[in-house]
Chains A and B, each alone.
Chain A
């Protein structure tokens, strides 16, 4: 199956486009956009937290190298995702202005760009930091592209639940870069992001159901309906309260973190409760937007407190 987009370019289901070969006018900025810089910044931030709270000392140059490699690896995953999803990006309002649908970068160029960045980031992380962190980074890119993008995204409404693991790995990679090992603490950070992802993404998808339906992506609101999505958002938000507080409950973080996590967790549930009860029109959209916005603040605040505690030696 393929979708004819414009003369000389044809987007297929795999995202591969056969197009006239024309000299590119892509700017450096277009390639930066291909790396999803906003996602990269969140990845770097959570990886930094994993790296800072890990025990032991890490030379600043090695720490910088690790974060740079993780950032570039995330950028590679973003580029490969845009290569594969070029067909659905072209029909979704939110993504139609990306470099490939805009025909600024050819899909083959995006594929090559992503592969080169992935290889360099994993290789450099292995050679200059350690191979456990490099292996985790390689697995994360593989999981995001093959498991989430190519398989789950188009086949199941649980796509972002399972696929959310890819976004949850960065603090674990940061920890592994610092220690060369994996213990319970980074798993707790993994679980926080893992359980945070569904309410975060479903809140966004509630207001873009038509977009996802047009692109034939089986997001939960498209497949199971808005009410079921609102119910599951609330369920995941409730589970997120103890999971968010787990680093404190297990004795790895102090009471300031614990209180912050509990207060933020209950606020998250309150926003999710409002989403569940506001079912019609602009008020429903507003409630979903508020939950989406707060979910970003939630994650940032929890990890920022961990970062400060880790920086002060409190972890």
Chain B
């Protein structure tokens, strides 16, 4: 033991895949925010009316 923590070193392919997945998650979350915003505009005050 040299006292240094064991670290995982990502390959180039792993880094590319991780970056693509991160971008996809960001886009999905952004789309969700926009969706909620647009529906709020469409429904107006009725957005609080959620019938069963």
A interface list, Cβ under 8 A from B: 23-28, 31, 59, 61-62, 65, 68, 120, 124, 126-128, 130-132, 180
Task: Report the bound CA distance from A130 to B52 in whole Å.
Answer: 6
Kindly provide the distance from the CB of A61 to the nearest chain B CB, expressed in whole angstroms. Answer: 5
Given A124-B32, A130-B51, A180-B51, are A24 and B17 also a contact pair (CB < 8 Å)? yes
Q: Is the interface of A mostly helix, strand, loop or mixed?
A: helix
Q: Closest Cβ of chain B: how far from A277's Cβ, in Å?
A: 50
Q: How far, in whole Å, are A53 and B50 apart by their CA atoms in the complex?
A: 22
CA distance A245 to B38 in the complex (A): 40
Closest to B9 in A: A23
Tell me the bound Cα distance from A143 to B24 in angstroms.
29
Binary contact track B30-46/A, C-beta < 8 Å → 1, others 0: 00100110110011000
Q: When A and B form their complex, what is the total count of cross-chain residue pairs whose Cβ atoms lie within 8 Å?
A: 53
**Closest approach, in angstroms, between the C-beta of A182 and any C-beta of chain B?**
12
Q: How far is the CA of A34 from the CA of B21 in the complex (A)?
A: 14
B50 adjacent to A126 (CB under 8 Å)? yes
Contact A131 B52 (CB under 8 A): yes
Give B42's nearest chain A residue, CB to CB: A61
Contacts of A59 in B (CB 8 A): 42
CA distance A28 to B38 in the complex (A): 26
